[in-house]
Amino acid sequence: MRTLAIEVGSTKGRARAYRVEGRVIVEVDLLESTRKRPEVWTTDAHDWVALNQLARRMQTTLDGVYGTNGDVAGYRQVLAHFEC
């Protein structure tokens, strides 16, 4: 079985994470945003430090607060599906 994409939702918006050619791509669509298209964040699927930073950014953006390591761990588990 292969995970193609994962969507994460919160009160602030939603994010869709997927992998393309060794890169993890996260599209973030915030509810209060004036953008017509989602923000796109990318990182290398081989770089665990960058994946941790991306998880932290997702948590801060979607939850609206700077959380603890336990809060970020949930987002890190989502990104672990696309890790090499």
Contact (Cβ atoms closer than 8 angstroms) between residue 46 and residue 22: yes
CA neighbor of 15 nearest in space, from 68, 61, 56: 61
> What's the whole-number mean pLDDT along residues 60-72?
83
Please state the pTM of the whole predicted model.
0.86
pLDDT of residue 34: 84
Q: Tell me the residue type at 72.
A: V
Name the residue ranges covered by the structural domains of the chain: 5-80
Distance CA 68, CA 28 (A): 21
Neighbours of 55 (CB within 10 A): 23
Distance CA 43, CA 58 (A): 13
SS3 call for 57: helix
SS3 call for 13: strand
Q: What is the pLDDT of residues 38-65, one digit of tens each?
A: 999 999 999 999 999 999 999 999 988 8
